[in-house]
Structure 1
Amino acid sequence: MEYRIVSKKPLYRGFFSMDAIEVEHDRFDGGKQTVLRENMERGDAAAMLLFDPQTDQVLLLEQFRIGPVPRQDNPWLIEIVAGIVDEGETVEQAIVREAHEEAGFVPYRTTWLGRYYTTPGACSERIDLFLGLVDSSTPAGDGGGMADEHEDIRSYWVSRAEAMQMLTDGRIASGAPMLALLLAFGCQGVVNNKSFTTEDTKDAE
């Protein structure tokens, strides 16, 4: 399968960028088609779930996010440490820096969990996920985010079991902590947790 960029037109330049990209690509039926798509360029980002194995707790963050506002949802989302990778940084260097800035901890060990596109239908952003081991009794700073970036971050420790409960009952509504918790600790899905009967089949609806 192949594709080629026919044209690329800048639509907006600010903290993020928006382009109109015309692409010709192969189809699964053997043909070709040309489509025009708008794409937001955010660069690369990283996120890290901080975990203290001695206490079996994870560190969660809360901060105001603009995304839920137009939907009139709660904009103070439960998240994990995350940030954009600055020019000249590796993703691991970036997330260790963010852990210190946002949470006041520097992990003594990091493990890469995976990489994913946040919204591949409209955005080029990729996020690398990490698990960071820390000693919750020895913070390296105050955390809370960078004042010059208008960050206002609250952090708190919860048990691993409580974090997984927050995931399953919907209190965690952001993608990065969802994936990090699942990749770090695993989760038996709905199918594994339920004994299906004939009442659950499509014909029974």
Structure 2
Amino acid sequence: MKYRMLEKTQKHKGFFRIDAYRLEHQTFEGGTLEIVREHLERGNAVAILLYDEQHDEVLLIEQFRIGPAVAGDKAWLIEVVAGMVDAGEDIEQAARREAVEESGYLPERLQSLGGYYSTPGGSSEWIDLFLGYVDRDQPVAKGGGEASEHEDIRPFWLSRQEAMQWLEQGKINSGGPMLCLLRAFGCQGLVQRG
């Protein structure tokens, strides 16, 4: 299947950029379809689940999020360390920088957990996921986020088992943290066969 970009128009440029794309793509029935789609450009990101193997604990963070607030839901989410990849920075550098900024811990080792498009219907943002191995007794900084970025982050430790329970109970309810926990520690599926 093929597509062709016909026109791009910038609609907004602030912290995020919104562009409108007029394009044409082949259809499953053999024809073509011309459409206009708005695209949110925000760059790529990393999400890091910090894990202390010796204590079998994960470091999670809590912070205010505008999306749930606008939706009328609980505005403080339980998440993993995450952030944008800066220009000229590779994904592992970004993961380590964000870990120190938000949690105060520098991962000794990073293990890839894969990656995903966060909202493919409206954004090209790709998020690389990592499991970062740390020693909870060896912080390298205070953590809590960057004041210059107006971050107010509460890092905290939780047993791996309790984190998985929170996931099952819906206390952890955003994509990055859910995928990190499931990729790192597996999942008991709702449907059991066999």
Same fold at TM > 0.5:
yes
Corresponding position of 2:165:
165
Residue aligned with 1:158, SS: strand
Matched, 1:48 2:10: no
Please give the per-residue CA displacement for 1:106-156, whole angstroms capped at 9, x wherever unaligned: 000101111101111011111000000000011111100011111100011
Give the match's secondary structure for 2:70: helix
What's the secondary structure of 1:68's corresponding residue? helix
Aligned length: 194
**1:174 offset after TM fit, Å?**
1.0
Determine the structure 2 residue equivalent to 1:15.
15
Could you tell me which amino acid in structure 2 is paired with residue 9 of structure 1?
T
Q: C-alpha separation between the residues in 2 aligned to 1:22 and 1:34?
A: 7
Report the secondary structure of 1:191's partner residue: coil
Q: Point out where structure 1 has 5 or more consecutive residues left out of the alignment.
A: 196-205
**Distance between the aligned counterparts of 1:86 and 1:42, measured in 2?**
11
Corresponding position of 2:131? 131
Return the letter of the residue paired with 1:79. Answer: E
After superposition, the CA RMSD in angstroms is 1.1
Deviation digits for residues 157-191 of structure 1 (CA, Å, limit 9, x no counterpart): 11111000000100001110000000001102100
Gaps of 5+ in 2: none
Can you list the C-alpha shifts for 1:18-70, whole angstroms capped at 9, x where unaligned?
A: 01101111111111111110110011100100000001000010000111112
Supply the distance in 2 between the matched residues of 1:47 and 1:66 (Cα, whole angstroms).
Answer: 18
Structure 1 residue 71, shift from structure 2 partner: 1.5
2:190 matched to 1:190? yes
Distance in 2 (CA, whole Å) between partners of 1:100 and 1:75 is 24
**What pairs up with 1:64-75 in 2 under 5 angstroms?**
64-75=64-75
Q: Any runs of at least 4 consecutive aligned residues in structure 1 with deviations exceeding 3 A, and if so which?
A: none
**Letter of the structure 2 residue corresponding to residue 176 of structure 1:** G
In structure 2, the partner of 1:140 is 140
Structure 1 residue 91 displacement after superposition: 1.0
> Could you tell me how far apart the structure 1 residues matched to 2:189 and 2:30 are?
37
Identity across matched positions, percent:
57
Q: What one-letter code is carried by the residue in structure 1 that aligns with 2:106?
A: V
1:112-123 to structure 2, matched below 5 A, reads 112-123=112-123
1:33 aligns with 2:39: no
The letter of the residue matching 1:39 is H
